[in-house]
């Protein structure tokens, strides 16, 4: 067994792969996470769920907490800017869900989140990070983790201080995306900063950003000293990235990319699970963004995407896919 495959722990939760699926808003729901698990993800993290939504027992928010049937380990991510409300949300998650771990979002760069002192806004103040994590970690038995970015912008960059504040406050692990909030998803992830932080941490530290291939995952582990890699956008429409990375870390062998036919077959499974979860109407609409990812790089994909964007039912989408495969 090599370092790439040795099981590791967050608190008392054992994780058998050095690969974590990132929380992605609007993506990481039950339909996507079930696929990710089947394709070899170790730990999976849900899309971010509002602490205020939980506090007000908002029906849509509560439905987002249903991950029954997703194999463990599972981490549910919550967000908010107020320690008291986050504590209540964490207690609710612990009592009413299948979560093994609760993650606090300190990375989301979107203005509607940051204006409420949530997400990456917290990166401006290591003391606030300490207070929030300490309050939540001391109120629940489940391990608490934090997902953050390197900083707010290049003028406000406290990655080591922020990560250590979370550790001192009782976090069981920290994941860091190697971009600032100001970068959003542009430019490159700064792996040098990830290496700096990794060298100072005693709890598990998970690196995120620009892991686009299995080889990138190994390189991040080798070059930065992180305990695990977090894969996000590279798995969109491409859960094979998880399987291929897992296999590469275990054996050093690069598995081939999936064929277009394989991609479409999996896309159809994803569609069924999404419509089971959200109803045919909403599920079919939400699937449009996934279809674009599954079709990335396929011949004549633009035409198919256009047809799917105009389809209103899952049956229409399946027919479009089948027709496309017949004429490949």
Structural contact between residues 214 and 184, judged by C-beta atoms closer than 8 angstroms: no
Query: Dihedral of the CA atoms 311, 312, 314, 317 (nearest 10)?
Result: 0
* Catalytic site residue from 21, 35, 108, 189: 108
C-alpha–C-alpha distance, residues 166 and 96, integer Å: 25
H or E stretch at 176: strand 173-180
- 327 three-class SS: coil
- The phi, psi pair for 237, rounded to 5°, reads 65, 15
Query: For residue 292, what is the enclosing H or E element?
Result: helix 280-294
Task: Considering only CA atoms, give the Rg of the chain.
Answer: 19
User: Taking a C-beta distance cutoff of 8 angstroms, is the pair 34, 70 a contact?
Assistant: yes
- Which helix (H) or strand (E) segment holds residue 149: the answer is strand 144-151
Question: Which residues, at least 6 apart from 323, have a Cβ–Cβ distance to it below 8 Å?
Answer: none
End-to-end, the C-alpha distance of the chain in Å comes to 43
Number of helices (H) and strands (E) in the chain: give both, helices first.
14, 11
- Alpha-carbon distance of 94 to 11, in angstroms, equals 15
Is residue 108 flagged as an active site residue? yes
Angle, helices 191-198/159-168, rounded to nearest 10 degrees: 40
Residues marked active site are found at 108
């Amino acid at each position: 067994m090599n370092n790439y495959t040795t099981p590791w722990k967050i608190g008392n939760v054992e994780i058998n792969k050095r690969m974590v699926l990132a929380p992605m808003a609007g993506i990481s729901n039950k339909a996507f996470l079930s696929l990710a698990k089947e394709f070899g993800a170790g730990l999976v993290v849900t899309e971010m769920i509002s602490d205020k939504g939980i506090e007000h027992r908002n029906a849509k928010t509560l439905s987002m907490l249903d991950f029954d049937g997703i194999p463990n380990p599972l981490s549910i991510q919550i967000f908010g800017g107020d320690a008291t409300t986050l504590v209540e949300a964490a207690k609710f998650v612990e009592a009413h869900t299948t979560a093994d771990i609760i993650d606090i979002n300190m990375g989301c760069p979107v203005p509607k989140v940051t204006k409420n002192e949530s997400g990456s806004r917290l990166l401006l103040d290591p003391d606030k990070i300490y207070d929030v994590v300490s309050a939540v970690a001391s109120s629940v038995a489940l391990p608490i983790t934090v997902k953050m970015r390197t900083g707010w912008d290049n003028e406000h960059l406290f990655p080591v201080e922020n990560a250590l504040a979370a550790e001192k406050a009782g976090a069981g692990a920290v994941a860091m995306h190697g971009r600032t909030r100001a970068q959003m998803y542009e430019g490159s992830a700064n792996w040098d900063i990830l290496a700096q932080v990794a060298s100072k941490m005693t709890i598990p530290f998970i690196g995120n950003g620009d892991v686009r291939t299995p080889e990138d995952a190994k390189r991040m582990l080798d070059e930065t000293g992180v305990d695990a890699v977090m894969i996000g956008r590279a798995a969109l429409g491409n859960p094979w990235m998880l399987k291929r990375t897992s296999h590469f870390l275990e054996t050093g062998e690069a598995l081939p990319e999936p064929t277009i036919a394989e991609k479409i077959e999996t896309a159809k499974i994803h569609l069924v699970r999404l419509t089971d979860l959200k109803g045919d109407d909403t599920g079919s609409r939400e699937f449009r963004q996934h279809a674009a990812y599954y079709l990335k790089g396929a011949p004549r994909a633009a035409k198919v995407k256009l047809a799917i964007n105009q389809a209103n039912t899952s049956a229409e989408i399946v027919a479009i896919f089948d027709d496309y495969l017949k004429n490949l």
